[in-house]
Structure 1
Amino acid sequence: MRPTTAVLATALPALALAVLGSYHPPVLTPESAPWWRDLHVIGLVLFPLLALGPWAVVRAAKPAGVAGKVLEGLVIVLGLVYAVFYGALDALAGIGGGHETMRVGPGPWVAALFEIADALGINGSYAYLAATVLAAVLALVAAPGLWRLLAGVGALFAVVGAWSFLTSHIYWPYGVATMVMLGIGHTAMALAATRRTSPTARRAPAAPGADAPVTRA
């Protein structure tokens, strides 16, 4: 994976969600309900893209052989689990909660809706954490020389950010900081992993006259 592609995949979704989170209402009220709903409609598109971060790191690390394909497949599956279950949280508590508050008003149904949304969303958050930890390990293994230091810093940012994501969503200020950490962490790991060295076979110089035709007397 080219460094430019890696940066786009790891940085843009997380930073876009950080910007979106800066405008997230702190609580759901009849007044905030329209923007609460519309913000999560935008999030319905952006949240799944966050799974590109761990995947891009694994693609940059290029783990070899059958084991490498299995690990990449595992990260893809974890990303799908995250996208599905976290998307359910976004749809239920975000879009559904905002829309029904506009139509019906606040009531005990809000807590019940948030309860099932959180129960589904936490599964997606744990899947994302697992994908991030796996990507961090592969980046540390793949990064050569001093680039491993960058991979280590990135791994710290990404794993702490993924852990914070379990509870922070994208609320200001912790959720916004979480998204920034994920963007920085996965980008640093991907850039370090793209610097991995691949051995190339070199031909030894032929002896003078080795390729000359043999003449017989």
Structure 2
Amino acid sequence: MLSIGRSVLVTAAPLVLAVAGWVHPHGLSRTTAEEWAHLHIVLLPVFPLLPVGLLALLWRRPRRDLAGVATVVVWIAAFAYAAYYTGLDAVAGIAAGTTVEHAPQNADLGALKQPLYDTGDALGHVGAYALIVAVVAAAVALWPRHGIRVLPGTAVLLLSGWSFIDSHIFWPRGVFTMLGFALGFALLDWAVTGRRPGADRT
């Protein structure tokens, strides 16, 4: 895969999510409910793509050693992230927005939203922790060939992953979290672009 093309691939999802976070409503109310729900419908296929920044770098990794085991862990954790974070998007985004949009005028919006937020947050936390596991496993998989070069990107991704647990994509922290993911993926892409002198090129 060409380096420039791969760089675009690994940074595309977090950059799109950063832009979405910039325009995301700051709160869910009757006036923002339609925009809230529609934005999360648009983002439904985007959130699961966040781990592509790791998976693209691990394509064709060795399969019969520690790096291979770590690669399998990355794929499993990436799947868990995609499944559970999509749940957050569907419940606290689409469902909550639709519920508020069509709630009766005398309805207690807080009582309607909170159970959806609680369920969505629980799903999102599982997804975010799974993404952190994927980052650690990716570093283990990449270390044998690229060594210390993987550390800067891994550090940025771990900080972003930790922030992601409760920041979602909301401005301001969530937007900077997504930009952090883009930077971290770009740094890992840089780390694997060149190989160590004497590294196995087969």
In the superposition, the TM-score normalised over structure 2's length comes to 0.88
Cα 1:118–1:8 shift into 2, 3 Å: same
Listed one character per residue, the Cα deviations across residues 34-68 of structure 1 (whole Å, up to 9, x for unaligned) are 110111112111100001112223338x3463433
Aligned to 1:75: 74
Residue 140 of structure 1 deviates from its aligned partner by 4.2
For the residues of structure 2 that align with 1:64 and 1:110, how far apart are their CA atoms?
A: 46
Q: Structure 2: which amino acid aligns with 1:114?
A: Y
Aligned to 2:35: 35
Task: Please show how residues 50-65 of structure 1 align to structure 2 within 5 Å.
Answer: 50-59=50-59, 62-63=61-62, 65=64
Contact 1:143/1:194 (CA < 8 Å) preserved in 2? no
Q: Whose radius of gyration is greater, 1 or 2?
A: 1
Bigger mean CA deviation after superposition, 62-71 or 10-19: 62-71
Aligned to 1:142: 145
Q: Structure 1: which amino acid aligns with 2:82?
A: A
Contact 2:70/2:141 (CA < 8 Å) preserved in 1? no
For the residues of structure 2 that align with 1:69 and 1:164, how far apart are their CA atoms?
A: 28
Q: How many residues align?
A: 196
Give the match's secondary structure for 1:143. Answer: helix
Q: Structure 1: which amino acid aligns with 2:183?
A: I
Aligned to 2:22: 22
For the residues of structure 2 that align with 1:152 and 1:57, how far apart are their CA atoms?
A: 15
Aligned to 1:85: 84
Task: Please show how residues 1-217 of structure 1 align to structure 2 within 5 Å.
Answer: 1-59=1-59, 62-63=61-62, 65-104=64-103, 106-143=109-146, 148-149=148-149, 151-197=150-196, 198-199=199-200
Poorly superposed stretches of 4+, deviation over 4 Å = none
Residue 109 of structure 1 deviates from its aligned partner by 1.8
Taking only the aligned residue pairs, the percentage that are identical comes to 33
